[in-house]
């Protein structure tokens, strides 16, 4: 259930509904009277495909909508949450439909405050926010930056995409709480000259999804990313590198205290022996490049006496499962995730998880979803691995 209260950021809540609906969630929108001064209910109705509620006195079939509506939902999220509404929540006031539903709910409540920076800094708001947290209500944000009123400071609502992952992160189980997870992602970039390089089609989507899923599972996550066009996942320490050698150095510097290492990056197998200092000129004839093998980062980590739980990824264009299992045994990995090479760079993947108990094939899914399944599997195996 999305509660929308009276603030400029109410227009961003329309995007929030769209994102949730696209993920397959059912969203019931409840608006305060003030919210309707900013965005019309018709917008939310059209995006959610469900009636928008705003009236405490429209009692529904059973006459008890004021308590019934928040009974069958997984969570109530109030975004934007106005200073006024936060004050009402703090004091348990219930003088409109949304505040009554919040008070009568039996599910988690999350609020995304949005207000002018001085309203946010006001001692009354500070007190109210501290009380909400003490009452077990999750406060998402706010962010800092330019405000609708033209001032700059803290109080902006966090962006809809961030609300989406923060809500999921709050609600998901935390099998990796207290664990440190190190993930590599993306391609590497092996220079040939100042402007050219050996690269590959990896987008970093899978590695970033694994890092985000491990974060959502409660882990403290470090991501070592090759050059990608993706934003770093929120709350994930991200180190950017270019070459395989830089990636190896970054991984080695982060290994201490790492419980789980997930090597998702498509590390170039070869690099130029001597990258040219000047741009290589076309002379019409064939060009000879001498390539040296790059270090095998995963094998190097897995071979250490104090190796963390190591997970590899293998993309193969033929004999996927045979090649992947051979790679898993060669590198001595408890888990290897096999991926058809055609999935590299695409938004979807269909993965096979290879471990000591055999092959577990996952259905095709967006990488954000597959990443979550992989992390669930890792968490299960890790618990077992750690015990033995």
Kindly list the residues in this chain that would bind ligand FMN in the complex (CB under 6 A). 5-9, 32, 34-35, 82-85, 114-115, 119
Give the nearest distance from C-beta 63 to ligand FMN in angstroms: 24
Give the nearest distance from C-beta 87 to ligand FMN in angstroms: 8
Strands 220-225 and 237-240, sheet pairing: parallel
Give the nearest distance from C-beta 81 to ligand FMN in angstroms: 8
Render the burial of 314-327: b for 16+ CB within 10 Å, e for the rest. bbbeeebeeebbeb
98 versus 228: smaller Cβ distance to ligand FMN: 98
Structure tokens at 291: 């390539």
Task: Name the catalytic one among 59, 102, 149, 310.
Answer: 149
Name the nearest CA neighbour of 259 among 290, 296, 222: 222
85 versus 313: smaller Cβ distance to ligand FMN: 85
- Is the separation of the CB atoms in 67 and 47 below 8 Å? no
Give the nearest distance from C-beta 304 to ligand FMN in angstroms: 52
Structure tokens at 179: 């664990």
Give the nearest distance from C-beta 90 to ligand FMN in angstroms: 12
DSSP three-state, residue 376: helix
- Is the separation of the CB atoms in 69 and 105 below 8 Å? no
In whole angstroms, what is the distance from residue 356 CA to residue 335 CA? 8
In whole angstroms, what is the distance from residue 117 CA to residue 163 CA? 20
Which H or E run contains 325?
Answer: helix 320-331
37 versus 64: smaller Cβ distance to ligand FMN: 37
**DSSP designation for 304:** S
56 versus 321: smaller Cβ distance to ligand FMN: 56
Structure tokens at 44: 């939310």
Active site residue 149: yes
Strands 270-272 and 291-293, sheet pairing: antiparallel
In whole angstroms, what is the distance from residue 172 CA to residue 75 CA? 12
85 versus 189: smaller Cβ distance to ligand FMN: 85
Give the nearest distance from C-beta 121 to ligand FMN in angstroms: 13
6 versus 233: smaller Cβ distance to ligand FMN: 6
Q: What is the DSSP string of 78-126?
A: EEEE-HHHHHHHHHT--SSHHHHHHHH--S-EEEEE---HHHHHSHHHH
Give the nearest distance from C-beta 117 to ligand FMN in angstroms: 11
12 versus 271: smaller Cβ distance to ligand FMN: 12
Structure tokens at 41: 């209910």
Give the number of other Cβ atoms within 10 Å of residue 243's Cβ: 21
- Is the separation of the CB atoms in 114 and 7 below 8 Å? yes
Residues known to be catalytic: 149
């Amino acid at each position: 259930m999305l509660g929308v209260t009276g603030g400029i950021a109410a227009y961003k809540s329309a995007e929030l509904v769209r994102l949730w609906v696209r993920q397959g969630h059912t969203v019931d929108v409840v608006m305060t009277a003030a919210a309707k001064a900013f965005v019309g209910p018709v917008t939310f109705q059209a995006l959610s495909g469900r009636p928008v509620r705003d009236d405490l006195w429209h009692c529904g079939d059973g006459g008890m909508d004021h308590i019934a509506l928040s009974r069958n939902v997984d969570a109530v999220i109030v975004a934007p949450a106005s200073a006024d509404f936060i004050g009402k929540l703090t004091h348990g006031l219930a003088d409109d439909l949304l505040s009554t539903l919040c008070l009568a709910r039996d599910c988690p409540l999350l609020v995304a405050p949005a207000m002018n920076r001085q309203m946010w800094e006001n001692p009354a708001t500070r007190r109210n926010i501290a009380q909400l947290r003490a009452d077990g209500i999750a406060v998402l944000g706010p962010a800092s930056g330019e405000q609708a009123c033209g001032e700059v400071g803290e109080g902006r609502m966090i962006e809809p995409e961030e609300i989406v992952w923060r809500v999921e992160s709050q609600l998901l189980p935390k099998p990796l709480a207290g664990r440190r997870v190190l993930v590599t992602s993306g391609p590497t970039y092996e220079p040939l000259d100042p402007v050219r390089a050996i690269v590959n089609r990896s987008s970093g989507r899978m590695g970033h999804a694994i890092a985000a899923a491990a974060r959502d599972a409660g882990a403290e996550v470090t991501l070592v990313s090759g050059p990608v066009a993706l934003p770093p996942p929120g709350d994930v320490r991200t180190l950017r590198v270019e070459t395989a050698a830089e990636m190896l150095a970054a991984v080695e510097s982060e290994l201490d205290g790492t419980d789980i290492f997930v090597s998702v990056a498509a590390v170039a197998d070869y690099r130029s022996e001597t990258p040219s200092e000047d741009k290589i000129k076309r002379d019409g004839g064939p060009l000879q490049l001498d390539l040296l093998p790059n270090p095998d980062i995963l094998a190097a980590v897995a071979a250490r006496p104090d190796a963390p739980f190591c997970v590899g990824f293998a993309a193969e264009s033929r004999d996927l499962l045979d090649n992947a299992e051979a790679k898993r045994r060669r590198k001595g990995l408890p888990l290897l995730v096999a991926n058809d090479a055609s999935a590299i760079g695409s938004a979807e993947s269909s993965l096979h998880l290879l471990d000591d108990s055999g092959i577990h094939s996952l259905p095709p899914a967006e990488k954000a979803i597959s990443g979550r399944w992989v992390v669930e599997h890792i968490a299960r195996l890790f618990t077992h691995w750690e015990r033995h």
